Amino acid sequence: MNLESRGLPAGFIASAEFIEAAAAQGKSLGIKPASVFVPHPIQDRTDAEMAQLAQDALEAITDMVCQR
């Protein structure tokens, strides 16, 4: 919220486990933040798997930050 209020594109990246929680938090704050969700879980993934998750999400993240 702080970055957006200053005119800077912002958003967050989280695992899909948090889709509902993010919606509830946004509703309670009166905002709909930009977001990208990646497959869950995260903690048990290898470095190579994490790199692939990042690569797979890169276009969506770029779109989010660049507000395409």
* Residue 8, pLDDT score: 79
Report the chain (68 residues): mean pLDDT per 10 consecutive residues: 80 96 92 93 95 96 83
The answer to whether residues 39 and 33 touch, using CB atoms and an 8 Å cutoff, is: no
* Residue 14, pLDDT score: 96
* Residue 68, pLDDT score: 53
* Residue 9, pLDDT score: 73
Which two three-digit tokens encode residue 5? 């209020």
Q: Name the phi and psi angles at 20, rounded to 5.
A: -65, -40
Tell me the pTM: 0.84
Which two three-digit tokens encode residue 31? 């905002």
* Residue 4, pLDDT score: 76
Q: How far apart are CA 67 and CA 2, in angstroms?
A: 17
DSSP E strands, 1-68: 11-15, 34-38
